[in-house]
Amino acid sequence: MDSSELCAINPPEDFSTADIGRLVGYSTQQVRDLERLGVLPPAPRAANGYRRYDARHVIAARAYRALATAIGPVVARTVLPALAAGPVDDAAARIDELHADLALERRRVHEALRGLDAVLAEAGEEFDDGDAMTIGELAQALGVRASALRHWEREELVRTTRSEGSGPRIYGALAVTEARIVAALRAGGYGIPAIRSILQEVRAHGDPGDAQRILQQRLADLTRRSLALLAASGLLHDLLASTPADTGRE
């Protein structure tokens, strides 16, 4: 239901706090909290002291809910008010950045799945010196800090070799693919113990089942978040279009 349809059903400022909650799927307290946090525009008070909301508040609440699904509620509580209050160009650019972030995560998961296949295919083989990378090269390729790779090594998630005994770390083909899997799982919010357990199973049994399931679940989650972001983008468009022209928006 868009803003015009809402206004056709109810005149402006004809929604109560409970109405907003029912339309969006929130409790009345959650609606009040969203207004207090600036996610919803301030609601005027009726003569009896109760808050009165209009169609724009419904759109803002729905936009927040979709955005919270896409990027998390804590970030959404900060991002949505800025998107709604700032220039339209800034809002469009920020939405583009959010889509790009999800696309990058998706690409990393796909790379991790390919890396998992390589881990299994290369089990027991000698490292290919042509694929070897330094810690700096691998950190740059994965978009992580070198200190993260050292930590993964200490946690036995990635196995490296040393050149000339105690020389610099060398990451062969197997270490590179393991690091790729770890990076994707870490980006998905999985902890060190869970990742270690998955890698140990892969190394011991050559069974990628757990890792594959987790990565596939991560892809499904990214798809859900991408669709939620599309919904939030449409609702944000409606919100911007319904904002009075005298608010200073450009």
Angle at CA of residue 236, ends 108 and 96, nearest 5°: 30
**Quick check: 175 and 159 in contact, CB under 8 A?**
yes
pTM: 0.69
Higher pLDDT, 246 or 70: 70
Contacts of 68 (CB under 8 A, 6+ apart): 76, 77
Contacts of 168 (CB under 8 A, 6+ apart): 134, 135, 162
Q: Which of 78-82, 107-111, 199-203 bottoms out in mean pLDDT, i.e. has the lowest?
A: 199-203
Higher pLDDT, 31 or 14: 31
Give the single-character DSSP code of 170. E
Higher pLDDT, 96 or 47: 96
Mean pLDDT taken over the chain? 82
Pairing of strands 169-170, 161-162: antiparallel
Give the single-character DSSP code of 245. G
